[in-house]
Chains A and B, each alone.
Chain A
Amino acid sequence: MSRIAATFARLRAANHQGLIPFITAGDPSIEVTVPLMHALVEAGANMVELGVPFSDPMADGPVIQRASERALHAGTNLGHVLEMVREFRQRNADTPVILMGYLNPFEIAGYDAFAKAAADAGVDGVLTVDLPPEEAGEFLAAVRSNHLDLIFLLAPTSDEARIRRICDTASGFVYYVSLKGVTGASNLDVVSVAEKVKEIKRFTQLPVGVGFGISDGKTAAEIATVSDAVVVGSVLVKAIESMLDRPQEIPKTLAAVVADMRQAMDASAETPAAG
C-alpha cells in the first residue's frame, strides 16, 4: 500500500480527517524547509505538500507568489526540492510528501528522469496545477511507472462529465479547489463545498481533500466535517512572510498554527452534531 493510501486508511479507522499543510520549498531559505516539515508533522500534519517554486505561478494569489519569488531568490531548484525530501525521509518513513508545482520545471527536467528521481527521493505524489488530464498522458505514464500518484484538481466549475473523467484518472486522492479564484482567496462557502464533495464522492472511492481559502481552525474544522482532508497554505506562508527577520522561529510558529487547526478539526469530529 502506498504511503498516501496507508495514511488515509489510518485516518478513516480513527474517524479523523487529514490535515495537509502546504509550504513552498526553499521559502525563505533552503535550510529552513526540512526542519519545518518535521515541525509540521509533529504538530499534527498527516501529509506535507511541498511547493516547487516557479517564476510564473498563475493559479496562486499574492502570498504564495511572493513565497515562490523568495524561494527562487534563495536559489531553490527542483534538485534542491528532491534533496529536501530525501533528507526528510531519513527521519520520517511514513508521512506522505506531495510536490505541488507548475509543469515547466518538471518538463525541462524530463518527465521520466524527474519521476524516477522523485520516487527515489521519497516523494509520494505530484500535483501539477497547469496540467489537466487532457494534456497529462505522457507525464501520467512517467509518474505511474515510478509508482507515484498524480493528484488532480477538481473545481466548482467542473461539470459531471469532467468529475467522472478526472476521478477515473486520479490516484492517491482528489483535490477539490473550494472556490473560484486563486490560492489565499477569501470567498469560501462551506455549504457549496459540501454539496460538491458529495457529488464527487458519487464517482470515486478515493479520499477527497479540500483546499484554497481555508485560513483558520474554525473553517478547517467545518471543511473537515464534509471532506477527508483539509489543505492549508496561504495562512502558513503568510506567517513565514511575517518572520523573515527571525527565520529560526518559523518552525515553532507554524507548528502552533497547525496544532490549532488539528485541535479544532479533532474536536469537531468528536461532536456528534457536526457533519
Chain B
Amino acid sequence: MARLLNEPPEERLLGQLPDARGHFGPYGGCFVAETLMGPIRELKEAYALYARDPEFLAEFHQDLKHYVGRPSPLYLAERWTKKLGGARIYLKREDLNHTGAHKVNNTVGQALLAKRMGKTRIIAETGAGQHGVATATVAARLGLECVVYMGEEDIHRQAPNVFRMKLLGAKVVSVTSGSKTLKDALNEAMRDWVTNIDNTYYIIGTVAGPHPYPAMVRDFNSVIGREAREQILEQAGRLPDALIACVGGGSNAMGLFYPFIDDSEVALYGVEAGGDGIETGRHAAPLTAGKPGVLHGNRTYLMEDVDGQIIPTHSISAGLDYPGVGPEHAWLKDTGRAQYVTIDDREALAAFHDLTRTEGIIPALESAHALAQAGKLAPTMRGDDIIVVSLSGRGDKDIQTVAAIEGMDL
C-alpha cells in the first residue's frame, strides 16, 4: 500500500502490510456483500493512484497545515511528570487540531479523495461525534452534502457534537437498531452506501472496515507519528522509550505507532476501555478479552458471545465504545510488536482530572485512558526515559458526562 510521504522506502518489516488484498496476517481483508465489491475496488484504485500523486499530496499537506493547524505541538508535561515521579511525559497535542481531535487528519484526506472521485455526497458513522464533526466540517468546506449516522444512545450523551454537526449543515440520522451505538451506526452507514453508491462516498472514521479503509485511514493519520518522531528527535535528541495511545477502532494509535513500527526499541502501548472492569464483562476491550471473528468488513478481534453474536460494550467514553478494533492492531498484538492493556472508567476519570489540574489541559475521556496508562507506567521507569502520549482529543465535549457522573449541575 502506498505511503503518504512516509519515510524512505527502506526494507520494512511490518510496515509493508497489508498485502494486496488487505490482509494483516490472518486479519483484515474485505468481507462485504457483492454489491459493494465494485465500489470498493473503485476506491482502492483511486486511493492507490492519489496516494502517489504529488498534486494530491501537496493539497493534503497544505490543508493539514493551514486548515487543520498542523504540525500539532509535542509538549513536555513537566508538572505532571514531576508529580508522577518517573519517565518524562510528552503529549502529542492532537486536541489542538481544528475540530479538536485527530479525526480531522483522516476526513481532510478522504474528502479530497471523494472530490477527486467525483462524489457529491458524503456519509459517515460516528460514536462520540468527533468523527461526525470532522466529516461535517470538511463537507461544509467542500460544499458536499453530508449525512452522519449516530446511535440514539450516543446522540443523548454527546449532544454538543450533534448540534455542531447540524450547524455545519450535516443531517444527523438517529440509529435505533441493535444496541443504538457506534456499531449500529456503522451498519446503517453501510446500508446507505450500498443504496447510494453512484454519488456517495463513505468516510469511515477508524482503521477498521473493508480494505482499503484500515490502511488508508492509518496513512492519513500517520502524520501524527511522523511529526512526533521529528519533534522528539529535535527536543530530546533521541527516540522515545514508549508510545501510548487509546484504542477504540484505533486510528489515533495506528497514526502514532506506524512511523515507529520498525524502531524496535520503542515500546508501543494500546489502551482499551476497561469500562466497569474486565471481570464484569461490561467493557470495550476486544484485544484483551475478545476473540477473532468477522464484522464490518474485516476479520479482527471482537466482543462476541459463544454463538458469534456481537455483544454490547460499555465505556465511559463513547469514542471507545466499539466491539471491534482495527485489524492491524490485531496483528500487532499477535506478533507482540505492541502491547494492549486496559484502563477502566474510574482510572480514566481520575486521569482526566489529573491532567486538567496539573497542566491546564482538559483531555477527551478517550485520551484520558492513554493518560491513565502513562500514569501507571511512568513511575516504573527512569527519570531520563521518555514516554509520548497521544492526546487524541480535547475534553470539552465530555464536560456534561463528567458533570453528570459527579452529580454536578451545569
- Give residues in A with beta carbon < 8 Å to B: 54-62, 65-66, 69, 72, 77-78, 102-109, 129-132, 134-135, 152-159, 162, 166, 177, 180-182, 185
Among B36, B295, B308: residue with most chain A CB under 10 A? B308
- Indicate if B160 sits at the interface (CB-CB under 8 A): no
Other than the known A130-B31, A132-B31, A162-B37, what 13 A-B pairs have Cβ atoms closer than 8 Å?
Answer: A55-B310, A58-B296, A60-B191, A78-B307, A104-B294, A104-B295, A106-B308, A108-B307, A129-B33, A154-B34, A155-B37, A157-B39, A158-B34
Asked whether, in the complex, the Cβ of A155 is within 8 Å of the Cβ of B35, the reply is yes
> Which partner residue on chain B sits nearest A108 by CB separation?
B308
Asked whether, in the complex, the Cβ of A158 is within 8 Å of the Cβ of B194, the reply is no
CB neighbours of A158 from chain B (8 A): 34, 37-38
Asked whether, in the complex, the Cβ of B308 is within 8 Å of the Cβ of A157, the reply is no
Asked whether, in the complex, the Cβ of B38 is within 8 Å of the Cβ of A130, the reply is no
- Give residues in B with beta carbon < 8 Å to A: 21, 29-39, 177-178, 183-184, 187, 190-191, 194-198, 291, 293-297, 302, 304, 306-311
Bound-state Cα–Cα, A78 to B309, Å: 11
A157-B35 in contact given A108-B307, A185-B195 (Cβ < 8 Å): yes
CB distance from B311 to the nearest CB of A (A): 8
> Which partner residue on chain A sits nearest B39 by CB separation?
A157
Asked whether, in the complex, the Cβ of A107 is within 8 Å of the Cβ of B293, the reply is yes
A131-B38 in contact given A104-B308, A181-B194 (Cβ < 8 Å): no
Asked whether, in the complex, the Cβ of A107 is within 8 Å of the Cβ of B310, the reply is no
Which of B29, B37, B190, B294 sits near A157, CB closer than 8 Å? B37
CB neighbours of B38 from chain A (8 A): 155, 157-159, 162
> Which partner residue on chain B sits nearest A185 by CB separation?
B195
Cβ-Cβ contact count across A and B, 8 Å cutoff: 123
A58-B187 in contact given A107-B294, A108-B293 (Cβ < 8 Å): yes
Among A57, A58, A60, A159: residue with most chain B CB under 10 A? A58
A135-B29 in contact given A56-B295, A56-B310 (Cβ < 8 Å): yes
CB neighbours of A66 from chain B (8 A): 177
CB neighbours of B194 from chain A (8 A): 59, 180-182
Asked whether, in the complex, the Cβ of B34 is within 8 Å of the Cβ of A132, the reply is yes
Bound-state Cα–Cα, A56 to B187, Å: 7
> Which partner residue on chain B sits nearest A175 by CB separation?
B34
CB distance from A136 to the nearest CB of B (A): 10
Which of B35, B178, B187 sits near A180, CB closer than 8 Å? B35
A59-B308 in contact given A65-B177, A159-B38 (Cβ < 8 Å): no
CB neighbours of B36 from chain A (8 A): 157
Bound-state Cα–Cα, A55 to B294, Å: 12
> Which partner residue on chain A sits nearest B35 by CB separation?
A155
A55-B293 in contact given A134-B21, A157-B197 (Cβ < 8 Å): no
Asked whether, in the complex, the Cβ of B30 is within 8 Å of the Cβ of A55, the reply is no
Among A60, A77, A132: residue with most chain B CB under 10 A? A132
Asked whether, in the complex, the Cβ of A156 is within 8 Å of the Cβ of B35, the reply is yes
CB neighbours of B191 from chain A (8 A): 58-61, 181-182
A103-B31 in contact given A61-B191, A108-B308 (Cβ < 8 Å): yes
